[in-house]
Amino acid sequence: MPVTANEELLDYATSCALPTPWAQFTLHAFVEHATGKEHLAMTLGDIGDGEPVLARVHSECLTGDVLFSQRCDCGAQLEGALRKIAAEGRGILLYLRQEGRGIGLVNKMRAYRLQEAGVDTVEANLQLGFHADARNYTLCQPMFAQFGITRLRLMTNNPRKIDALEKLGIEVAERVPLLVNRNAFNNSYLNTKEAKLGHLMTPLAEAVAEDGEL
Ligand SMILES: Nc1nc2c(ncn2[C@@H]2O[C@H](COP(=O)(O)OP(=O)(O)OP(=O)(O)O)[C@@H](O)[C@H]2O)c(=O)[nH]1
Ligand SMILES: [Zn+2]
């Protein structure tokens, strides 16, 4: 019998072991009622003890996460987050199926074509008739609740993500920067995220010392 995480939004479907190069995680699947999309959680260690949990809320980026694209920092952020969780032996990564900041893969590719013609990542979304960021984090609430998690140490550079989670009643006790893989292909994309989307791209001194991050 599937456990119901939130009757209105999604069902908890199943779980299995997921060995990775860094740790053996448990992979959990949820199915969203409205769309049928399969959202995932990767967990490690004792995460339901009430202490803030090292967490990543990662939005799907097929090109970056799977196809090694250097146009963005997504693949490196995904790996970096899993490495940090493995190093602590405790944490959770939510993998949300909202590709392309919520506009889908085909539209993201259309946005990339516009970017090749000179517009930035935000303007490209607007020219296609979408919001700059069409994502919704509502599902995070029942997903975290499934594991008894209410307090996070969230790995992100995105203050809007923190605001969205706190509006859902999830406390972000600490922001852990995740600055990885700045390169010649994604440099202006990352600059646009900082200038137009409010991302915090200045490394904390202790993070640089700890991880040698950018
Ligand atoms: N529309 C659009 N989506 C993109 C583009 N580049 C990456 N994405 C998507 O953006 C999402 C990741 O957004 P980011 O802004 O990198 O990350 P974030 O989650 O907002 O912030 P961090 O937590 O700091 O990583 C994924 O869904 C990607 O598919 C782009 O040029 N256009
Ligand atoms: Zn990406």
User: How many whole angstroms separate alpha carbon 130 and alpha carbon 127?
Assistant: 7
**Residues, CB-to-ion distance under 5 Å, ligand 2:** 61, 64, 72, 74
For ligand 1, is residue 121 a contact (CB within 6 Å)?
Answer: yes
CA 150–ligand 1 middle distance (angstroms): 24
Higher pLDDT, 181 or 112: 112
To the nearest whole number, what is the mean pLDDT of the chain?
91
> Comparing C-alpha atoms, which of 28, 27, 30, 29 is closest to residue 6?
30
56 marked as part of a ligand binding site: yes
* Count of Cβ atoms closer than 10 Å to residue 164 Cβ: 17
CA 182–ligand 1 middle distance (angstroms): 14
- Whether residue 198 is predicted with pLDDT greater than 70 in this model: the reply is yes
Ligand that comes closest to the CA of residue 60: 1
For ligand 1, is residue 65 a contact (CB within 6 Å)?
Answer: no
User: How many whole angstroms separate alpha carbon 137 and alpha carbon 192?
Assistant: 22
Structural domains of the chain, with CATH: 10-98+135-179 (3.40.50.10990)
DSSP per-residue letters across 111-166? HHHHHHTT--HHHHHHHTTS-S-----TTHHHHHHHTT--EEEEE-S-HHHHHHHH
Paired tokens of 46: 């004792």
Which own/partner contact pairs does 204-209 have at CB distance under 8 Å and 24+ positions apart? Answer: 204/177, 207/176, 207/177, 207/179
83 is catalytic: no
46 is catalytic: no
Annotate 20-42 with b (16+ C-beta within 10 A) or e (fewer).
Answer: eeebebebbbbbeeeeebebbbb
CA 95–ligand 2 middle distance (angstroms): 13
Higher pLDDT, 179 or 146: 146
CB 154 within 8 A of CB 162: yes
Mean pLDDT value of segment 186-211:
71
- pLDDT number for residue 187: 84
161 marked as part of a ligand binding site: yes
